[in-house]
Amino acid sequence: MTTLVFTYLVAWLFIGGYVLRLAIDHHRLIRRMAEIDGDVEATPHELARGKHVA
């Protein structure tokens, strides 16, 4: 039972780590885009959707 629980726990932590990495990267990209355009009014969602791309 210990092996089973440990295996599932490690697997989900690993998947969770990847999702966390995606979230951190996404946040970093949004901040960078806002810095480039200097637009503080755009929401992160709009930035992510490419509102500032000419």
Partner 1 sequence: VLVFIVAPTEATMGDVQRVLYLHVSVAWCGLAACLVMGVCAALFLGSRRLEWDHWSQASAEVGWLCATLTLATGSAWAHEAWGTWWTWDPRLTSSLILWIIYAGIIVVRGSIDDPYRRGRIGAVLAIIAMSDVPLVVMATRWFRGVHPVAPEMDPSMRWILLACVLMFTLMFFYLIVLRRRQLGFAERVAQREAELWWSRATANN
Binding interface with partner 1 (CB under 8 A) = 1, 3-4, 6-8, 10-11, 14-15, 18-19, 22, 25-26, 29, 32-33, 36-37, 48, 50, 52-54
How far the first Cα of the chain sits from its last, in Å, is 57
CA dist., res. 51 & res. 54, Å (int): 8
CA dist., res. 27 & res. 32, Å (int): 9
Number of other residues whose CB lies within 10 A of the CB of residue 33: 19
For residues 11 and 43, which CB has a smaller minimum distance to partner 1 in the complex?
11
> Could you tell me the smallest distance in angstroms from the CB atom of residue 43 to partner 1?
14
> Could you tell me the smallest distance in angstroms from the CB atom of residue 6 to partner 1?
7
